Chain A
Amino acid sequence: MAKLPLPKEEYLYRGHAACPGCGAPLAMRYTMKALGPRVIMNVPAGCTPVIGGVWPRTAFKFDMMDHAFESTGAVSSGIRAALDAKGIEDATVLGWAGDGGTVDIGLQALSGAVDRGTDFIYVMMDNEAYMNTGIQCSGSTPIGAWTTTTPLGKKCEIILQRKKKIMEMMVANGIVYGATVNVAYPEDFVKRVRKATEYEGPKFIHALSPCAPGWRVDTAKTVEVARLATQTNMFPLYEVQGNEYRLTKTIKERKPVSEYLKTQGRFRRISEDMAIKIQAMVDEEYEELLRKVEQSKG
């Protein structure tokens, strides 16, 4: 596959306040490279406001507003309505929230915005826990992962839940385009976000982005670990147009999930039995995805 040349423009100044090895600035750089400068980004509580630095400085070279935790979908609808009222047609409204701000506390407003048919792109920056408050379990934390609220002691049943299937919820809700992307695949990332701009209506991008301190990985391994998530089918890359599914990354030699799990301290305490269960779950979910892809072809 010919590689997509990434635009040279950068919309993040040097000196942002992300932790070493953070995936979020990568995700933001790729997103902005895809969208260009006529963007209004809105962001709730989370790591991103901190990454931008404190007033009067900002790391962001685009218009951006911070707001309350639950509000990303609603603020996006408001911005779009005002742009329409003002006759500004060529600007992209970008809602940018973490996994907690999306699958948990922000779900209602996001669902409302999709229901209203708001013309915007929503990027869920998924680092699989509440990382800004210090690694607490969110609805997007994977099964078996240690967090400070799922301490994996003797009674580890509290973490025996799967990640919420946010893409499925959004597809059912009525998005016009959805895609999973991964900071380990920048060309694909840019391509998917750019593709989202071709549609009018609500678009949902689910971006996997490791958190080195939260995942308990070496800060130099962010991209490596993120890539393993896709290579093991823990986080397959696909897109949905309407309800037609298409794989955007085919993994020729799928690696065992255990290879992904052992790279991260957060999975350190799970048993072999649990690892086998997770493998079975990942296989089952991947089969389900393939079925949808096949059905879409038919």
Chain B
Amino acid sequence: MIEIITSNYAAAYAAKLSRVEVIAAYPITPQTSISEKLAELVDTGEMDAKYIKVESEHSAMAAVIGASYVGARTFTATSSQGLALMHENLIWAAGVNRPIVMPVAARALSGPWTIWSDHSDVISERDAGWMQFFCENNQETLDMTIMAYKIAEDREIMTPAMVIEDGFILSHTVEAVDMPSQEEVDDFLPPFDPEFKIDFKSEPRRYAGVLAPDWWQEHRYRRMLDMEHSKEKIVEVERDFERRFGRSYGGLVEFYRCDDADVALVIAGAPTGTAKDVVDEMRDRGKKVGLVKLRSFRPFPGEELVKLNDMVSMVGVFDKSYTMGQGGAFFQEIRNALYSPDGVPIKNYIGGLGGRDVTKKNIELIFEDLLSLSKKGKVDRIIDWVALKGGPRRWE
């Protein structure tokens, strides 16, 4: 059934369709309407879940960690400062294998105050041990949230997942979303059944106790294997999803019109849709440009991205965040993955910070820059800020 809804509502309906049992909710812009919609669904009885009104995001994450130990499928959502406040418990959740799924309406971190979109909040949590999936549109938010439970709860993975929707740009924009039926989702997503849980049926256990130095390193190694293993699982779950629902997104990364491209731009989240339009238009004009949609940042798809070395002569990376003194996070990691003595030149474009529009014109100019650099065979400025007031003329 087609519904015209925001990405926030898509996330809320995905929680309902996933038969979430415990929800912890705290308001923060622009996530709030997820929590509001869920309150309404629980209140009207459309959804059978326990709704915990917590007093902070830190407590929201703590509450779902506790609930998860009792074997409940859990859900919470956040943004920006809230995600930052959760930081300590994000690491706990991942460290103790709690497969919590959490949409993040990505928003810049303040101060000064900003409520608008970029990726600096989720990038700040790239080392929290969570899987991080970037969504292009509202349909993907819904589909990815449901898929995320199946991936996260796999007994060989047991890793929490952030489903990232660009704040306001997706969270508050209505789009047509194909809503699967409850029966279809039930058939796809089995109930949460972890190997270890507190149900008073087995001997009592202590969960998440003290690990001394003679085991901590092995614990981290095991978490590393879980994250690595999730790569196959993400692809496998998406294939299964495609077979049942007829929609797919390309696994860890989607290569869009890259086969015969001269240059390619790597991009994630909401700007992807805009960039695909630009690629189509430039292709019509005979410009051989391609797009790489980074769907999964954690796990990081290095093996997939390294293919770019043989596909194109110049790679651009667009970041909606900036790491002080280092360029965007996507850029740093992709450059690492692609590096070899005869690897392809790579350039970073920073834009869309704090809610600044990423326009078709911006992206077209990025492609033009890449095409002209590819003729020269080398990069001039490694990091360029897009459409910066007072910046280079070509961004005007």
Partner-B contacts on A (CB < 8 A): 37-38, 40, 42, 49-50, 52-55, 58, 60-68, 70-71, 73-79, 81-86, 88, 91, 108-109, 111-112, 115-116
Contacts and interface: CB of A to CB of B under 8 A. Distances in A.
Given A54-B211, A61-B204, A65-B207, A85 B66 contact: no
A64 B206 contact: yes
B80 interface: no
B94 to A, nearest CB: 13
- Most chain-B CB neighbours within 10 Å: which of A42, A70, A75, A82? A82
A62 B202 CA distance: 11
B2 interface: no
A40 B210 contact: no
B97 interface: no
B200 A64 contact: no
Interface string B70-86: 11101000000000000
Contact of B65 (A38, A60, A64, A67): A67
Contact of A71 (B67, B89, B206): B89
Interface residues of B, number: 41
B211 A63 contact: no
A38 B74 CA distance: 23
A95 to B, nearest CB: 10
Contacts of B68: 78, 82
B62 A66 contact: no
B54 A82 contact: no
B205 interface: yes
Given A78-B52, A85-B22, A55 B62 contact: no
A40 B52 contact: no
Interface in B165-206: 198-200, 204-206
Closest 7 CB pairs of A and B: A78-B66, A112-B55, A74-B59, A78-B63, A71-B62, A82-B70, A75-B66
A83 B21 CA distance: 10
Contacts of A86: 21, 70-72, 199
B212 A55 contact: yes
Contact of A37 (B198, B204, B210): B204
A52 B210 CA distance: 8
Contacts of A75: 62-63, 65-66
B276 interface: no
A79 B98 CA distance: 13
A49 B66 contact: no
B285 to A, nearest CB: 55
Given A55-B209, A77-B63, A82-B70, A88 B199 contact: yes
Interface of B: 21-22, 24, 49-50, 52-56, 58-60, 62-72, 74, 88-89, 92, 198-200, 204-212, 215
A53 B71 CA distance: 25
B62 A63 contact: no
B211 A74 contact: no
B206 A52 contact: yes
B208 A65 contact: yes
- Most chain-A CB neighbours within 10 Å: which of B52, B62, B200, B208? B62
Contact of A54 (B55, B88, B204, B209): B209
Given A77-B54, A82-B70, 17 more contacts: A40-B70, A50-B210, A52-B209, A53-B209, A55-B210, A55-B211, A60-B204, A66-B207, A67-B66, A71-B65, A74-B58, A78-B52, A79-B66, A79-B67, A81-B50, A108-B55, A108-B56
Contacts of B24: 74, 78
Nearest to A76: B66
Contact of B206 (A65, A67, A77, A78): A65
Contact of A82 (B60, B66, B211, B215): B66
Contact of B205 (A63, A82, A111, A112): A63
Nearest to A93: B66
8 contacts: A64-B204, A68-B92, A74-B24, A74-B58, A78-B65, A85-B72, A86-B21, A109-B58
A165 to B, nearest CB: 21
B294 to A, nearest CB: 31
- Most chain-A CB neighbours within 10 Å: which of B58, B71, B198, B206? B206
Given A84-B50, A86-B71, A65 B55 contact: no
B64 A78 contact: yes
A66 B66 contact: no
A68 B89 contact: yes
B209 A58 contact: yes
B212 to A, nearest CB: 4
B208 A66 contact: yes
Contacts of B92: 67-68
Nearest to B48: A85
B66 A65 contact: yes
A77 B22 CA distance: 10
